[in-house]
Structure 1
Amino acid sequence: MTEPRNGGVKTLGVKLPDALHAQFSLVAQLDDDSLGEAVVRAVDLYVQTKRAESDFAERAKRALDEIEKEAAARRGAIQGLFGGEDVPTPSKPAPARSRKPSGES
């Protein structure tokens, strides 16, 4: 398993259906693990499984490319605010996030 770097950890709240929670609790107990330890093991296994998928590297590269385009656009906007040199913005803007109409929850 991967260890947190610099002692950093994140808190994750997960809602489980009652039946799955009961099974998960029993399995963790049989393995003499706390629920927290079992969750970390489960998440680690999930990440390992996804990384082994044949198209995972390509999907990750596309996500990284999109993040870098967005970062370049934001960097250019910040530099523009302070009179710095303009950084070229990506030719294709990031897709707009959908919003629910007002009054909808």
Structure 2
Amino acid sequence: MAESVKTLGVKLKNELHAQFTLVAQLEGLSLADAVIAAVAQYVTTKQSAADFQQRAAAVLEEIEREAQQRREAIQSLLGGQPAPASEASAKGRARKSGGEAPA
């Protein structure tokens, strides 16, 4: 199966666009390939920032809290009992220390 992609539309000021076009041309890249390279470099740079891991972990914890609230709401709608908070917390901790979250 082919890798899925997302389309990104970006508005640039004329001067920046002209500079970007020239740099891409000098590097022998299409604008699309230059954008991909620039985004990849941006992500790599941000990942190496001192506080990146801490901020990403905080976002992950918030996502997990929201997901738990939604699970409980759905279980309530279906007439089921929500999972005990301690069980849900243990599952969340195990996933974080175990590396990647299941897909």
Per the shorter chain, which TM-score range?
0.7 to 0.9
- Aligned residue type for 2:66: E
Higher relative contact order (CA 8 A, sep 6+): 1
Aligned match of 2:81: 85
CA contact 1:28–1:38 (8 Å) conserved in 2: yes
Aligned match of 2:49: 53
Within 1, Cα distance between the matches of 2:83 and 2:74? 10
**2:6 counterpart of 1:10:** yes
Moved over 6 A (4+): none
Task: Please give the root-mean-square deviation of Cα atoms over the aligned residues, in Å.
Answer: 1.6
1:28 deviation in Å?
A: 0.5
**2:6 counterpart of 1:24:** no
1:56-93 CA-partner distances (Å, limit 9, x unpaired): 0000000000000001001111111111221467xxxx
Within 2, Cα distance between the matches of 1:36 and 1:88? 49
Within 2, Cα distance between the matches of 1:18 and 1:66? 39
1:6 deviation in Å?
A: 5.0
Aligned match of 2:93: none
Percent identity for Structure 1 against Structure 2 = 55
Aligned match of 2:96: none
**Normalised TM-score (structure 2):** 0.77
Within 1, Cα distance between the matches of 2:33 and 2:83? 45
Equivalent residue pairs, number? 85
Within 2, Cα distance between the matches of 1:81 and 1:23? 56
Aligned match of 1:94: none
Within 2, Cα distance between the matches of 1:6 and 1:49? 28
C-alpha change, 1:56 and 1:6, in structure 2 (3 Å) is farther
CA contact 1:80–1:86 (8 Å) conserved in 2: yes
